[in-house]
Amino acid sequence: MAELRRNTELCQSKFDAERREWMRSIQTVEESKAQNAGSGKAEIDMLKAKVSELSAALADAERTRLFLLEDNGKIKQQKAKLRYFIAFVANCTNLSQEVMSLLYYYAFLHICKCKNAYCDNLWFPFAALLLPNVLMPHLVA
């Protein structure tokens, strides 16, 4: 009987030790879940912020791209006007091709330096330089 009691107590103590270990494991798992959930939520929030930042940057880049396309179109339009103007001057003045290309180059540099490169007044300085013998031939003699 004493041996049976000792076996029962021994089995009970083993069971209690295993139960405590099992409870400790469950508690560790629960703590780990809570900690991971907190860090996971923080990581998700960080990723959401990063995604919104990147989408804002993408929208800015798209606006910049559209602006540059529009700007490029305006520059092409101004260059076409310049070519037309230079061709007109060439027809009126019989200037050589080298002189005309040089004038075109300097006119284009002026366009690039001008704060408002799209103003129509841009051509007046060149008209004054190129057309005096056409508009006022009596002054050129």
DSSP-assigned states of every residue in 75-99 = HHHHHHHHHHHHHHHHHHH---HHH
Domain count, the chain: 1
- pLDDT of the residue at 119: 47
Both tokens of 39, joined, read: 């860090």
Side-chain half-sphere of 53: how many Cα atoms within 13 Å?
6
Tens place of pLDDT per residue across the chain (141 aa): 677 778 788 778 888 888 888 888 888 888 888 777 777 777 888 888 898 898 888 888 888 888 888 878 887 887 787 777 777 776 766 666 677 677 766 666 666 665 554 444 555 555 545 544 444 444 444
What domain range is 26 assigned to? 2-140
